[in-house]
Amino acid sequence: MVKVIVNKGDQLKRKRYSKNKKKAWRKKTQINDVEEHLEDQRREERYGGPLEEREDQELMFIDVGDESEKKPVVPVTFAVDTKPGHIEGFKPRTKKQTEKPLRCHQYLGGFQGAKTPHKEKTKIDRQNAVAKQQQSTSEVRTKRKNLAAREAMRVKHTELPKKRKRMKIGKGMLLDWNCDKWASDSDELVKRCKVNGVEEDFVEQIVDYHSKISGERMFKVPGVRYQKTSALPAVKVAEAGQSYNPTFDDHQVLLEKAIRQQGKHSRIDERYESATTKMFPTIDKAPTEESWLAEMSEGLPTANDNEEEEESDEEEGEQESEATVTGKRTTERKTQKQRKKEFKQKFKERKQLLAKERRIRESSVYRIKTINKEIKENEKILKCRQAARKAYHEQKKSKPLRLGKEKFQAEDIAVSLGTELKGSLRSVRPACNLLEERFKNLQRRNLIEPRVRVKHPKPKLKKTVMKKDHKALLYQIEKMVEEKMG
């Protein structure tokens, strides 16, 4: 878009055009400066290129003619002759009749020494082109050889081991079964470093750098990965009382354990019941109005208490009136002398305390034996605590941890009563569900978190209510129907 400035008095206004169409772009845009620049550029190309890029030899040179066209000098004998051309080897110079070129075509040939845009290929140029082509073909061949070598190395390191695994032994393929399949390049690098006499402090750094550059770096695996989540066995050995034909004593021991477990469950149920149902009294023990009034009025002041309070208030008022009449303060003000005395006393006590602390600190040198005894006792206490902490952690490994919001609850002991015991395996019935037992075992060994079955609440039934206006209308309609029927 072109900005046109029009003088209109003292004010300068800018003429504006619409910019929303390409028609305005072509019509109102001036490209004279661009065309002039391109015309200058074309003119310079016709003259042999810009002067800044041309060399001095191209602009200024001495024309000595073509050396190949020079002829050997022939000795000329001068003689008087009236007719030109009589002497042998002499030709008179004749002026050629040539027409002058048009002035408009004077720059078509370009300046002297200018490079031609398309130079014709000579024999030497063709030879150079052939040599260049041969060189490029040789480079391509070398590149292909390098690529082939790389491909062979890749096949050797990646695909050949896979083929060896697939091939059967006995076809003349010798495999090195004694080599360490899990050994890494770092072990060989460490051996080379030791052979070359590298210090041990720098060996680890060299191995890390080599593994980082080669891309074979083995990342550190956390130590917890190989630790078991629990010390409990995967399959728990059943107790002796759970056998299909146990002894009397083993069966009684298992029954006692089951009874203790049931007692624990019953105590938990009683606790919930006492916290909910038993907190509210029954009808015969419910509070009455009289008991409620006595309980609410407990601690409130009575008539006798009011009389005593009034008497105490009167005595306090008399004392205050006496104090106002005399004009004396209830608390006496300290004088400046008393304050200075108190400050000196406090400063003296502080000084004595600091001196006492210094004496105790200096005399502690003579308590070296007692201090050593105290240190030894503290070390013993610390060791005992460490051992107890270690034992606690070891014991904790054989117990289920708190992995989620739900607490682990052990399953009931599978026990058969005395009447349910059978003498043969054929008539024995399973005392527990095997799938449930495996699921609890995984929870006990901290492999999965304890879970509870989610109970989806039933959707609430929608309550339908009829408006009063609708009821009135229905009543009127029913009344009208009864009248018509009657």
Query: Does the pLDDT value for residue 1 go beyond 70?
Result: no
Residue 380's pLDDT band (cuts 50, 70, 90)? very high
Q: Which 3-state string (H, E, C) describes 144-192?
A: HHHHHHHHHHHHHHHHHHHHHHHCCCCCCCCCCCCCCCCCCHHHHHHHH
**Structure tokens belonging to residue 159:** 């695909």
Residue 305's pLDDT band, with cuts at 50, 70 and 90, is low
Select the highest-mean-pLDDT range: 308-322, 328-342, 427-441.
Answer: 427-441
pLDDT, residue 391, reads: 94
Is residue 3 over pLDDT 50? no
Contacts of 452 (CB under 8 A, 6+ apart): 406
Structural domain contains residue 339: no
- pLDDT over 80 at 326, yes or no: no
pLDDT of residue 166: 53
Domain assignment present for residue 481? The answer is no
| pTM (two decimals) | 0.39
What are the backbone angles phi and psi of residue 12, rounded to the nearest 5°? -110, 120
Tens digit of pLDDT for each residue in 401-432?
Answer: 999 889 998 888 888 888 888 878 888 888 88
Q: Is residue 158 part of a domain?
A: yes
pLDDT tier at 59, thresholds 50, 70, 90 = confident
Residue pair 2/18 in contact by the 8 Å Cβ criterion: no
- Domain count along the chain: 2
Minimum mean pLDDT among 294-308, 323-337, 454-468: which range?
Answer: 323-337
Query: Per-residue pLDDT averaged across 170-186, rounded?
Result: 50
Say what the pLDDT of residue 356 is.
Answer: 94
The amino acid present at 389, given as its one-letter code, is R
Note whether residue 173 is domain-resident.
Answer: no
Give residue 206's domain range. 186-218
Asked whether the predicted pLDDT for residue 171 surpasses 80, the reply is no
Whether 31 maps to a domain, the answer reads: no
- Residue 477 forms part of a structural domain: no
| Mean pLDDT score across all residues of the chain | 77
Has residue 475 been placed in a domain? no
Residue range 155-164: mean pLDDT, rounded: 66
* Average pLDDT, integer, range 455-461: 86
pLDDT at site 455: 84
Looking at the predicted structure, is the pLDDT value of residue 134 above 80?
no
Identify whether 74 is part of a domain.
no
Residue 254 buriedness (CB in 10 A; 0-12 / 13-18 / 19+): buried
Contacts with 218 (C-beta within 8 Å, 6 or more apart), sequence order: 184, 186, 211
